Structure 1
Amino acid sequence: MAEPRKKPPAPRPQQPAGSSPRPAGATPGKAVAPRTSAGEVGAPAVPQYESLIPKSSGVRALLAPVGGFGVTLSNMFRKTVTEQYPRETVPTKPRYHGRHQLNRYADGLEKCIGCELCAWACPADAIYVEASDNTPDAQFSPGERFGSVYQINYLRCIFCGLCIEACPTRALTMTNEFELAGPSRAGMIYEKDDLLAPLREGMLAAPHPMVEGTTDTEYYRGEVTGPTEAQRAWVREHRPDDPTLPEGAGVTAAEQVGPTAAVMAQNVAAAHRQGGVR
């Protein structure tokens, strides 16, 4: 049996053109008053800016542009000071950022622990570090590791000092040495031997054991003030001809300048001699 057909819905009355849409819930066929527009929300009124600096007037306002060049004009009439370098070497300021230096503790052990934080902090990627483990027969620094390879490329270095700020043991500092001149590009790369600080009187050349009964904490706090007799005995046993021993030739004989630093020192000395000839 066929289902009865459903009646189609009655068509809605079309809205006259130009009339406003009927609000929801309004009765069909009933006139509705159009909604009035409230207008857009205006921006809050901002008070006009008034400067707290009193405005100049008269002659002062006329000379105000010239006052901005006061420092420049005052230096134009001063005597020019020219440093006669390299004939005359003027000392640098105490906090001048010059060549780097790897420092030592009071007993001669190296402060660098090979953490590579200086290499990570360098914005010019001028530092390269490789770390190795300390052993009982080769203790170069307090703790577990030391910097076995340390290089600084002075063709890249911008002497910003971020590397020394990142060093946790104050192993890396900057000296006042600014005369850097190499014969080649490879001659501008300083190795660890070129950067190590010179041994001071009383120090023992590394490697040698730490002060007995101490850890790296005592070293970092500065509680180690020099080598002990046990350390000297260890050096006598393993390196009887070490010049840093009390009976040795002294720290001056133990100093071995790195090859790059030695060549650079010769170039600087030659430049001074050439500059001294008029």
Structure 2
Amino acid sequence: MQSLSNRKKVLEQKPMNFWERIYLPAIFKGLSITIKHFFKPIPTVRYPEVERPYSKNFRGQHSLKRDEEGRERCTACGLCALSCPAEAITMISAERQKGEEHLYREEKYAAVYEINMLRCIFCGLCEEACPKEAIYLDGPHVTADYLRKDFIYGKDKLVEPRFDYKDEHEPTA
């Protein structure tokens, strides 16, 4: 068996020539790289003055959609919460009262619908799992904030704004 001292290899260094000893070629090579990058266009986008163009398949902030009549599409089936690998979606379902059943197609609705944006990985599985096409990742990017509780988005931030659908279908005079 060989001892450890016998296994060590001695690295031989060749002596440096005159140009390597004065380091001028290395300095000029470094300066040439710096000057080359100095004249390249700047990749930084001056946000918020200039907004970067996003691709068609950009996954932004979640939004809960409404149907043609202005009603919420979500029926609180829970498939989006089950398909979320980060477990970022919390939902509590409720049943409609007897007086308002005729206004809606479905008996159930999401009384509470929350997404923890700090946990969300924007994978889009909730969007694919929804049978009613109620949730989409088509909003802007998630904004910065200072408190963790402000990253829990409820229905107040997620449901798309309601506008009067009846006015759209009436003929204009």
Establish whether TM, by shorter chain, passes 0.5: yes
Per-residue deviation, residues 212-256 of structure 1 (Å, max 9, x unmatched): xxxxxxxxxxxxx979xxxxxxxxxxxxxxxxxxxxxxxxxxxxx
Distance 1:187 1:129 in 2: 18
Give me the whole-angstrom Cα distance separating, in 2, the residues matched to 1:196 and 1:203: 19
Indicate conservation of the 8 Å contact 2:70/2:164, yes or no.
no
Cα deviation for residue 122 of structure 1 reads: 0.4
- The answer on 1:188 being equivalent to 2:151 is yes
What is aligned with 1:120? 82
Q: Which residue of structure 1 aligns with residue 94 of structure 2?
A: 132
**Bigger Rg, structure 1 or 2:** 1
User: Given that residues 110 and 141 in structure 1 are in contact (C-alpha distance below 8 angstroms), is that contact kept between their aligned partners in structure 2?
Assistant: no
Structure 2 portions without partners, runs of 5+: 1-35
Amino acid at match of 2:121: I
Going by fraction, where is helix more abundant, 1 or 2? 2
Whole-angstrom distance in 1 between the partners of 2:166 and 2:121: 33
TM-score normalised by length of structure 1: 0.43
1:96 to 38, 54, 58: 58
What do the CA deviations read for 1:174-207 (whole angstroms, capped 9, x no partner)? Answer: 1240042223111110111211111133259xxx
Query: C-alpha offsets along residues 56-96 of structure 1, whole Å, 9 cap, x if unaligned?
Result: xxxxxxxxxxxxxxxxxxxx989343222233112322321
Query: Are 1:108 and 2:67 matched, yes or no?
Result: no
Q: Distance in 2 between matches of 1:133 and 1:194?
A: 22
Matches within 5 A, 1:1-278: 79-80=40-41, 81-139=43-101, 141-202=104-165
Contact 2:63 2:139 in 1 (8 A): no
CA contact (8 A) 1:111 1:142 kept: no
Mapped to 2, the partners of 1:151 and 1:181 lie a distance apart of 18
Q: Which digits, 9 at most, give the CA deviation of each residue in 1:2-61, with x for residues without a partner?
A: xxxxxxxxxxxxxxxxxxxxxxxxxxxxxxxxxxxxxxxxxxxxxxxxxxxxxxxxxxxx
Secondary structure class of the residue paired with 1:186? helix
Q: How many residues align?
A: 132
Structure 1 runs not aligned, ≥5 long? 1-75, 205-224, 228-278
Write the distance in 2 (CA, Å) between the matches of 1:167 and 1:200.
23
Q: Is the 8 A contact 2:117 2:152 kept in 1?
A: yes
Query: Are the counterparts in 1 of residues 61 and 137 from structure 2 also a CA contact under 8 Å?
Result: yes
CA distance, structure 2, for counterparts of residue 113 and residue 102 of structure 1: 11
Q: 4+ residue runs of structure 1 moved beyond 4 angstroms? A: none
SS in 1 for 2:99: coil
